[in-house]
Amino acid sequence: MDTKLILVEGLPGFGKSMTAKLIYDSLMERNIDAELYLEGDLHHPADYDGVACFTREQYEDLLLHSRGLKEAIKDFIQVKDRHYFLPYEIMKLRLNRQFPDPLMSKVFEHDIYELPFERNKELIANKWEEFVQEYSFGNKIVIFECCFIQNPVTIGMVKYNKPKENVLAYVLKLANIIEKLNPVLIYVEQDDLEFSFEKAVQERPKAWSDGFVEYYTNQGFGKEQKYIGKGGALAVLKERQKIEAEIYDRLSMTKFKVNNSNYELQRYQKLLNKRLSSL
């Protein structure tokens, strides 16, 4: 298999996590060295989750307001290229301690996925470049779930309602960075977006659906369109689906789509194995 990176993308509820895990299992069964990183992995080598970024002045101001957590923040802060990175979710887990609400608000406003679009794009691109440098050598295959297309589209279209070409340029920039890894894109499809979304809402905790609806309707594209509630979030998803379809068509890397509409695990596993064996 002539690739070092497999990217699994698709809309929420389409089966990205399951697909990524099945691919990983298939590679391991074939004694192929592989690593799997799912959405939300706090140790992701090419993305940031639960990480805030500060300038030196902003970091110094944070310390002034951190009180009893000042020394701990100093221990966890990572300085790189004049940026001050705080992996606050990892910090909370290791300390087994929550931040006071005022401090958490101050940290969260600097979360990398709360920063302005161009700033986010710059930091994420730098992170992908670091990943490529580290993983260019050796034979390990890395599998990423949803950080390649989903994250740029989410922050670009959903959060900031940027023009489609800006979002496309973001993904194409990442595609150019990872080209030397000969990446393979696997895009998971479903025949009925509304059914799949409703299935995800029913199966996942209410906090997930509430947070999803709020994120998709209270900012960016959804807010501009005055969408509300679950129906509004679905309308945003339909627009996202159109943009992702265009992005997929514009990418020149090795790619294929898999359909998971029947939710038949054994059949789906055979389909994936067949496609993987052809790479």
Domain match, 82 and 95 both: yes
Q: Residue 106: what pLDDT?
A: 96
The number of domains in the chain is 2
Rounded mean pLDDT for each run of 10 residues along the chain, 279 residues in total: 94 94 94 95 97 98 94 97 96 95 96 98 98 92 97 98 98 98 96 94 94 97 97 97 97 94 88 87
- How far, in Å, are 61, 131, 197, 229, 263 from residue 12 at the CA level? 38, 25, 7, 16, 14
Domain match, 259 and 142 both: yes
pTM given for the model: 0.95
CATH number at residue 24: 3.40.50.300
Range of the domain at 74: 52-108
Q: Residue 26: what pLDDT?
A: 94
Q: How many CB atoms lie within 10 A of CB 242?
A: 11
225 DSSP 8-state letter: T
Structural domain contains residue 86: yes
Burial of 145-179, coded b for 16+ CB within 10 Å and e otherwise, reads bbbbbbbbbbbbbbbbbbeeeebbebbbebbebbe
Structural domain contains residue 263: yes
Q: Residue 153: what pLDDT?
A: 98
Q: Residue 2: what pLDDT?
A: 86
Residues 188, 192, 193, 195: is their CA dihedral positive or negative?
A: negative
**Do the Cβ atoms of 245 and 187 come closer than 8 Å?**
no
Domain match, 151 and 223 both: yes
Give the C-alpha separation, 228 to 219, whole Å. Answer: 11
DSSP-based three-state secondary structure for 175 = helix
